Amino acid sequence: MNLIGLGAPGVGKGTYTKLLSKRYKILHISTGDLCREEIKKGTQFGKKLAKEFLEKGILVPDDIITNMLKERLGKDDCKNGFILEGYPRNISQAKILEGMIKIDKVLNFVAPDEVITDRLSGRIICKSCGAIYHIKNVPPKEPGICDVCGGKLYQREDDRPESVKVRLKIYHEKTAPLIKYYKKKGLLADVDVSTPYEEYPKVLKEVDKILRIGV
């Protein structure tokens, strides 16, 4: 089963796509995480990604990000299926993806703007494993330390107000048109993620229904 998770920055798609990947035993692939891993390595390429694109909140060019994704999809662990997050980000990436692999369903995670703003402003993530927390809503057991791996938690450079504005603008201009695009193809399903994080099992069951798993 090959899935895509769509949604505005901060809506919770990273959190939910990770939970769903565990539930369905499929791989979680986030192109944002692929970029952050590259940056962590400290290579010239990683530095370029950070300075020219991620820190500013603007999109990495299609050819660069597509090559990174292709490399990841080429690995053996993708054979059972995957849930892809952060790609496609625009119509041209959607067309490239179509030429690469079959997609079974596109989950469009939705929540009101004020929920999104609150989620983004309090988000902290683990430097080592990428686990996602929220200062108020989903705090780690020990402040600043990841429950999963003991890594250090930090606020993403692009979660600061200036970059957030740019990311939301780009989302509305370039990524939101994908909703219509996939609706037309009969692949889209909305998933309401406005409920507090503790109620995540309800959301997962909702997705089971959409995918007709266990019903």
Which residues make up the interface to ligand ADP (CB under 6 A)? 9-10, 31-32, 35, 53-54, 57-60, 65, 86-87, 89, 93, 158, 167
Could you give the CA distance from residue 37 to residue 212 in angstroms, rounded to a whole number? Answer: 34
Percent helix, percent strand, percent coil in the chain, to nearest 5: 50, 15, 30
Considering beta carbons, is residue 148 or 213 the nearer one to ligand ADP?
A: 148
Considering beta carbons, is residue 157 or 206 the nearer one to ligand ADP?
A: 157
Q: 183, 170 in Cβ contact below 8 A?
A: no
CA proximity to 156, closest of 125, 122, 189: 125
Positions annotated as catalytic residues are 13, 89, 123, 156, 167
- Closest distance of CB 190 from ligand ADP, Å: 17
- Closest distance of CB 32 from ligand ADP, Å: 2
Considering beta carbons, is residue 105 or 156 the nearer one to ligand ADP?
A: 156
- Closest distance of CB 53 from ligand ADP, Å: 4
Own/partner pairs, 92-99, CB within 8 angstroms, 24+ separation: 92/62, 93/62, 93/65, 93/66, 94/178, 94/181, 94/182, 96/62, 96/66
Identity of residue 169: K
Distances in whole angstroms, Cα of residue 73 to Cα of each of 8, 27, 28, 156, 186: 24, 10, 11, 26, 24
- Closest distance of CB 93 from ligand ADP, Å: 6
Considering beta carbons, is residue 58 or 91 the nearer one to ligand ADP?
A: 58
Give the nearest residue (CB) to ligand ADP: 32
